[in-house]
């Protein structure tokens, strides 16, 4: 191990391995925030997983705290080969034939025959030392040294030019970009301006609270969904009428019927029902949806598209995330001008590395 990395590790605090860690979260933004205080990463389209490895015993936790250890045998094997006791944060990603993240393939991952990559973007604890209080850039340097060049465990690369990365991500059809403050500590369950997420396509998890009957042959017309507000109340946000495969709809309806209740679980009225017969369900099922825009009142403009269920997330952890309009605070006018100049004519050095076209490529993004 390099002497400089050993010096960084010594700046951490000695501690026992944490039993559980609630992941640090990112604030949703409408536009990419460009500021030299941030570095930028790909927003991976997969399952957020915390990894705990100590003396050959490994546990993989979902964002909601569910034990996913048995789901990813190749990752277990790769973590055992590290020969370090660690706590890592990253995303389980399955790449398609073009080397791009495919969320549908993550959902269908069979654990054995199909390839998977664990894209790592943080290290919280290493060999008896708590690293969470170190700046992000130091944690990244330690992570890169510990992981090295491996097939299943991969580093989520960081870039200085957020706008150039955003353009590449948009061209490739990837979900979005994460901006992280260079000096940010790892704060479990924190959702602040330390980490920001800017999606290309507006995708978000919502909790299903009901369904509308179809007047045709379909199993249902649409799903009604919402999220929890700051007061812990379940609010209706929108509806989804598309994205369902005909062969899967009866199974979805069966799930809903098993959770059916008499009264609406939403604290606010459900609008625009268009006369459809509506059924209510206990808010237990989390779905991933893609949509066009937010309205000024915090609703979804036009029906959303259903992308699939998120079994790795707990319903009560799905909070309302209306994009914030963030400003670069206390940024001198000259720095803003430099950023504008970079955006207009990025140099070759500033441009992000190419996203791999094949699974065997060594580097890809989050």
Catalytic residue among 19, 30, 43, 201: 43
Burial 104-132 (b: 16+ CB within 10 A, else e): ebbbebeeeeeebbbbbbbbbbbeebbbb
Residue 335 — pLDDT band, cuts 50, 70, 90? very low
Give the DSSP H/E element, type plus range, for residue 211: strand 202-212
Percent share of the chain, pLDDT over 70? 87
pLDDT at 325: 58
Average per-residue pLDDT for the chain: 86
Query: At residue 324, does pLDDT exceed 70?
Result: no
Where is pLDDT greater, at 24 or 202?
24
Do you know the residue count of the chain? 366
pLDDT at 113: 64
**Which of 296, 254, 302 has its CA nearest to residue 279?**
254
pLDDT at 327: 46
pLDDT at 331: 34
**Which of 88, 246, 215, 198 has its CA nearest to residue 152?**
88
Query: At residue 11, does pLDDT exceed 90?
Result: yes
Rounded to the nearest 10°, the torsion over CA 141, 142, 148, 152 is: -100
Top mean pLDDT of 119-128, 146-155, 313-322, 355-364 is at 119-128
Domains of the chain (ranges; CATH) run 22-200 (3.30.470.30), 203-317 (2.40.50.140)
Query: At residue 328, does pLDDT exceed 70?
Result: no
Cα distance between residue 53 and residue 17, in whole Å: 9
What angle, rounded to 10 degrees, do the helices at 136-147 and 3-10 form?
130
**β-strand partners of 47:** 92
Residue 201 — pLDDT band, cuts 50, 70, 90? confident
Residues 6 or more apart whose CB falls under 8 angstroms from that of 111 comprise 70, 71, 72, 73
Q: Which two three-digit tokens encode residue 211?
A: 């369904």
pLDDT at 332: 36
Three-class SS state of 296:
coil
Query: At residue 172, does pLDDT exceed 50?
Result: yes
Three-class SS state of 230:
coil
Query: At residue 121, does pLDDT exceed 70?
Result: yes
Catalytic annotation present for 201: no
Q: For 89-115, what is the mean pLDDT?
A: 85
Query: At residue 233, does pLDDT exceed 80?
Result: yes
């Amino acid at each position: 191990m390099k002497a400089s990395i050993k010096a960084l590790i010594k700046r951490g605090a000695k501690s026992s391995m944490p039993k559980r860690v609630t992941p640090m979260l990112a604030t949703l933004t409408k536009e990419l925030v460009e500021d030299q205080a941030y570095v930028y990463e790909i927003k991976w389209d997969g399952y957020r997983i915390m990894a705990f490895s100590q003396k050959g015993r490994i546990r993989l936790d979902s964002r909601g705290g569910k034990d996913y250890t048995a789901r990813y045998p190749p990752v277990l094997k790769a973590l055992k080969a590290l020969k370090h006791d660690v706590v890592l944060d990253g995303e389980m990603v399955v790449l398609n034939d073009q080397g791009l993240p495919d969320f549908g393939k993550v959902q269908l991952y069979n654990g054995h025959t199909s390839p998977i990559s664990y894209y790592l973007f943080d290290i919280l604890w290493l060999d008896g030392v708590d690293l969470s209080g170190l700046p992000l850039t130091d944690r990244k340097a330690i992570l890169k040294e510990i992981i090295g060049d491996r097939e299943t465990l991969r580093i989520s690369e960081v870039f200085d030019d957020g706008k150039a990365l955003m353009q590449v991500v948009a061209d490739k059809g990837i979900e979005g970009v994460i901006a992280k403050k260079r000096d940010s500590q790892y704060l479990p369950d924190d959702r602040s301006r330390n980490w920001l997420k800017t999606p290309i396509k507006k995708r978000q998890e919502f909790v299903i609270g009901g369904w509308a009957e179809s007047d045709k042959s379909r199993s249902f017309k649409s799903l009604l969904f919402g999220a929890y507000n700051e007061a812990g109340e379940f609010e209706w946000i929108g509806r989804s009428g598309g994205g369902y495969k005909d062969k899967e709809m009866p199974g979805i309806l069966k799930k809903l019927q098993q959770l059916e209740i008499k009264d609406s679980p939403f604290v606010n009225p459900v609008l625009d029902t268009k006369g459809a017969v509506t059924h209510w369900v206990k808010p237990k099922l989390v779905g991933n949806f893609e949509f066009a825009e937010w309205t000024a009142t915090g609703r979804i403009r036009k029906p959303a598209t259903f992308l699939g269920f998120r079994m790795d997330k707990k319903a009560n952890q799905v909070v309302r995330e209306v994009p914030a309009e963030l400003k670069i605070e206390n940024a001198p006018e000259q720095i803003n001008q430099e950023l504008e100049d970079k955006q207009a004519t990025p140099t070759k050095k500033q441009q992000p590395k190419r996203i791999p076209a094949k699974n065997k490529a060594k580097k890809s993004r989050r």
